């Protein structure tokens, strides 16, 4: 019996891991990037990147039509570029394909979740899922296990993806709360920037308070958007805090630390654009999100980190657990 086919659209840090992992779980794996892509050219030339060595059986291609002929297609591109890729995918026959979004972000210009972007652009597949949760490629390829989550509006879709991709390295949980999981995963990156700012200021002891308060405001937003607030306390958000708020590998935490020290970091930190998108959603749904708003103010240069802490601590006292989203 022929192995099921997996294609990965996007061969960067996480896309490269998905190629490595797809081969590991026995799938016929292909990676796609457009012609001229630096990550694809590096993998094709060296068969490795800075995180891993690509298995010999993994194919690489610039042919999008061919890559889409798969049982499962993982999308692993920057969240803010996904709409342009979705337009290229729209109209293709994906009736036999499970489309899995493996990005943690919200579109800045519209405030749309990425599954909504796919729907708006007319992408039609057998199923649409989001795969998120804690982990770093650097650790996973060394055999450090993790638990992750697959969310889809149809339970059987999440179950099929989890069964196909699960292993001793990644244990999957499932959810039908696509809004809560997508928003929680995206907001986690913004909290990571906040944690880095505290590190850069020498206030790392405040990260405990950050961990307690940030999920509260994200849960309020998820509930207002019609999602299940409990998802915020699961693997998509709170469960990913260790990998984002403390890890030396976290780009969002490093971004925040550099901000506090007056600099910037290289590499993609999805929380930068997502913070603007979440502030937009908070305004649309009438949700108070002081931590997210403060991160955005620092990124915009409206507040220094020191001024931001003073502003947050100057807010009126309140109950720790109001019933606003229960």
Q: Which residues contact 177 (CB under 8 A, 6 or more apart)?
A: 151, 227, 228, 231
Would you call 304 exposed, middle or buried from its count of C-beta atoms within 10 A (0-12, 13-18, 19+)? Answer: middle
CA distances from 69 to 29, 65, 66 (A): 11, 7, 5
Set 188, 207, 261, 318: catalytic member: 188
Q: What is the spatial distance between Cα 140 and Cα 32, in angstroms, rounded to a whole number?
A: 22
> Catalytic site residue 188?
yes
Burial class (CB in 10 A: 0-12, 13-18, 19+), 74: buried
With beta carbons less than 8 A apart as the criterion, state whether 214 and 222 touch.
no
Helix or strand (DSSP H, E) at 17: helix 13-24
User: Is the torsion defined by CA of 226, 231, 163, 15 positive or negative?
Assistant: positive
Neighbours of 13 (CB within 10 A): 20
Positions marked catalytic: 188
């Amino acid at each position: 019996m022929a192995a099921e086919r997996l294609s990965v659209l996007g061969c960067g840090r996480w896309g490269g891991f998905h190629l490595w992992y797809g081969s590991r779980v026995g799938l016929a794996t292909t990676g796609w990037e457009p012609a001229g892509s630096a990550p694809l050219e590096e993998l094709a030339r060296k068969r490795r990147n800075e995180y891993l060595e690509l298995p010999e059986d993994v194919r690489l291609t610039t042919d999008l039509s061919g890559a889409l002929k798969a049982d499962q297609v993982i999308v692993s591109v920057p969240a803010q570029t996904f709409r342009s890729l979705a337009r290229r995918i729209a109209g293709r026959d994906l009736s036999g394909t499970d489309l899995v979004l493996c990005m943690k972000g919200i579109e800045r210009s519209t405030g749309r979740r990425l599954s909504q972007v796919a729907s708006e652009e007319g992408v039609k597949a057998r199923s649409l899922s989001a795969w998120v949760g804690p982990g770093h490629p650097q650790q996973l390829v060394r055999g450090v296990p993790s638990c992750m989550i697959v969310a889809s509006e149809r339970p059987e879709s999440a179950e099929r993806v989890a069964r196909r991709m699960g292993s001793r390295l990644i244990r999957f949980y499932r959810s039908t709360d696509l809004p809560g999981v997508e928003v929680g995963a995206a907001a986690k990156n913004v909290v990571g920037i906040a944690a880095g700012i505290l590190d850069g200021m020498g206030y790392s002891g405040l990260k405990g308070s950050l961990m307690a308060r940030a999920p509260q405001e994200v849960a309020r937003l998820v509930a207002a958007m019609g999602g299940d607030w409990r998802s915020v306390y699961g693997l998509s958000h709170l469960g990913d805090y260790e990998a984002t708020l403390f890890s030396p590998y976290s780009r969002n935490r490093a971004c925040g630390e550099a901000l506090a020290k007056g600099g910037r970091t290289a590499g993609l930190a999805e929380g930068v654009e997502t913070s603007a998108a979440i502030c937009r959603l908070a305004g649309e749904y009438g949700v108070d999100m002081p931590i997210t708003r403060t991160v955005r103010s620092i990124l915009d240069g409206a507040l220094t980190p020191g001024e931001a802490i003073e502003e947050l601590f100057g807010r009126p006292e309140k109950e720790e657990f109001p019933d606003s989203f229960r």
